[in-house]
Amino acid sequence: MSMLVKVCGMTSKHDVSMCAEQGADFLGFIFHPSSPRNVDTDFARSVKPDRAKKVGVFVKQSAAEVIEILKNGALDFAQLHGGQNEEFCEAVGKEQVIKVLWPQKYESVKEFQADIDRFAPHCAYMLFDAGKSGGGHGMSMEFEVFKKVTIPVPWLLAGGLSADNLQEALSIAKPSGVDLNSGVESEPGKKDKMKLAAAFAAIN
């Protein structure tokens, strides 16, 4: 299977077009008012990519609100970026869920593995981000931890990924895909054509 690529933080049709041209598999739309990349359902619905799946990124909404936004924004997946539990994933529909965990939050590999095992039956994909919460902050992480865990579902690696560190990340962590955001921007919410092209070249 070829490497999946998600580009998160879509805020304009121009950026959507650039990402689609590069061959993005997923486009991320952030529904979190305090984020500089926050958008509304009208914008998400207006984006009609030929091939890429549309992902809503959620932090504080209820399951009912997530379901409503998925419908109104014509979104394919819900990326759960807060402390949502297994019941929340099932309420949204596990076939639509990308569940986020933060490896650096755990005291041990054993604890990290326990949460992977806890959530894997309740989602279509998992996503592992840098830091201990949030996202889009440009932090990266040690990739070695992924050699020590077993991840039974397809998963994406996130956290400060750019052309500078993608090849190292891919060779060590061996993810199913990557999630690009701040590492391919000129400023928060504005994707950079050169950085995007360089990142896709590194992946390919």
Distance CA 163, CA 115 (A): 30
Torsion angle defined by CA atoms of residues 27, 33, 39 and 40, in that order, rounded to the nearest 10 degrees: 120
Give me the phi and psi of 118, to 5 degrees please.
Answer: -65, -40
Nearest to 39 by CA among 67, 65, 69, 6: 69
| Mean pLDDT of the residues in the chain | 94
| Torsion over CA: 89, 94, 96, 98 (sign) | positive
Return the CATH number at 17: 3.20.20.70
What's the pLDDT tens digit per position in 112-140? 999 999 999 999 999 999 876 555 555 56
By residue range, what is the domain housing residue 107?
4-203
Can you tell me whether residue 27 is helix, strand or coil? Answer: strand
Give the DSSP letter string of 85-154: -HHHHHHH-GGGEEEEE-GGG-SSHHHHHHHHHHHGGG-SEEEE-SSSS---S-----GGGGGS----S-
Distance CA 143, CA 147 (A): 8
User: How many domains does the structure of the chain reveal?
Assistant: 1
pLDDT, residue 132, reads 63
pTM above 0.75, yes or no: yes
Per-residue pLDDT of the chain (204 residues; tens, 9 = 90+): 589 999 999 999 999 999 999 999 999 999 999 999 999 999 999 999 999 999 999 999 999 999 999 999 999 999 999 989 999 999 999 999 999 999 999 999 999 999 999 999 999 999 999 876 555 555 566 789 999 999 999 999 999 899 999 999 999 999 999 999 999 999 999 999 999 999 999 999
Residue 74: which region, alpha, beta or left (left: phi > 0; alpha: psi -120 to 50)? left
Distance CA 102, CA 127 (A): 9
Interior/surface letters 81-107, b for 16+ CB within 10 angstroms, e for the rest: beebeeebbebbbbebbbbbbbbbebe
